[in-house]
Chains A and B, each alone.
Chain A
Amino acid sequence: EVQLVESGGGLVQPGGSLRLSCAASGFTFSSYWMSWVRQAPGKGLEWVANIKQDGSEKYYVDSVKGRFTISRDNAKNSLYLQMNSLRAEDTAVYYCARFSGLEAHFDYWGQGTLVTVSS
């Protein structure tokens, strides 16, 4: 059974940093692109970042470029999101999701971790 379990969310002040983690199991982690998708309270879904199987390609939504870094450790079956210079508008539930690849969709999702940016 595919499982994605996020951790690392919490309350952080504007300008602060936070690192999210996603532990993957039930599939060959190193064979899949992985993604982060977020959802602000009461709002819709927003794709944040993608990373290729070997970490050699990374893509970001414009609003987080230069502030967020996606990474992975295939030996630990783990995905990460380093978030720096956090803003109030980054407040959201952050989901780890498996990207299907050629068929271009997110087929498995974690339960999400809440990040709140507030003073």
Chain B
Amino acid sequence: DIQMTQSPSTLSASVGDRVTITCRASQSISSWLAWYQQKPGKAPKLLIYKASSLESGVPSRFSGSGSGTEFTLTISSLQPDDFATYYCQQYNSYSVFTFGPGTKVDIK
């Protein structure tokens, strides 16, 4: 099975900061990677799919990049609404999906 790691596990940042979260897969997943944002007590929200495609309605300060085994989610200028936990998710067939362990972005 493909394993996913994320770094860092926790990130402390200030409003206006540029934030980068890294997700790594244990083997190549091409561009089959999505990013989600989750706030406490709420369902996850899709931000990015196919590694770099921005979901409709998601602010343009969010961007994704990468392919193969290494991917990044970047928030160009952190806003108060962005303090949350972020998960990556891989897909390599209809039979298995795996989420990363999450990165919590909190206030510095």
Residues of A within 8 A of B (CB): 33, 35, 37, 44-47, 50, 52, 57, 59, 61, 95, 100, 103-107, 109-112
B99 near A59 with CB under 8 A, answer: no
Q: Using A44-B101, A106-B46 as known contacts, list a sample of 20 further A-B pairs with CB atoms less than 8 Å apart, ordered by residue number in A.
A: A33-B94, A35-B97, A37-B44, A44-B87, A44-B99, A44-B102, A45-B99, A46-B99, A50-B97, A52-B94, A57-B94, A100-B49, A103-B53, A104-B32, A104-B91, A105-B46, A105-B49, A106-B89, A109-B45, A111-B43
Given A33-B94, A105-B89: A45 and B34 within 8 A (CB)? no
| Shortest CB distance B52–A (Å) | 12
Given A95-B43, A110-B43, A111-B43: A103 and B87 within 8 A (CB)? no
Question: Which residue of B has the minimal Cβ distance to A95?
Answer: B43
A112 near B43 with CB under 8 A, answer: yes
**Contact pattern, B 31-54, Cβ under 8 Å of A = 1, otherwise 0:** 010101010001111100110010
Q: How far is the CA of A104 from the CA of B31 in the complex (A)?
A: 10
**Contact pattern, B 64-108, Cβ under 8 Å of A = 1, otherwise 0:** 000000000000000000000001010100111111111000000
Q: Which residues of the partner chain A approach B94 to less than 8 Å between Cβ atoms?
A: 33, 50, 52, 57, 59
Q: Which of B46, B53, B97 has the most CB atoms of chain A within a 10 A radius of its CB? A: B97
A107 near B87 with CB under 8 A, answer: no
Q: Which residues of the partner chain B approach A110 to less than 8 Å between Cβ atoms?
A: 43
Q: Show 20 A/B contacts (Cβ-Cβ < 8 Å), sorted by A.
A: A33-B94, A37-B44, A45-B102, A46-B99, A47-B96, A47-B97, A47-B98, A52-B94, A59-B94, A95-B44, A103-B50, A104-B49, A105-B34, A105-B89, A106-B34, A106-B46, A109-B43, A110-B43, A111-B43, A112-B43
Complex partner residue of B95 from A59, A105, A107, CB under 8 angstroms:
A59
B44 near A45 with CB under 8 A, answer: yes
| Shortest CB distance A75–B (Å) | 24
| Shortest CB distance B98–A (Å) | 7
A103 near B49 with CB under 8 A, answer: yes
Q: How far is the CA of A43 from the CA of B35 in the complex (A)?
A: 17
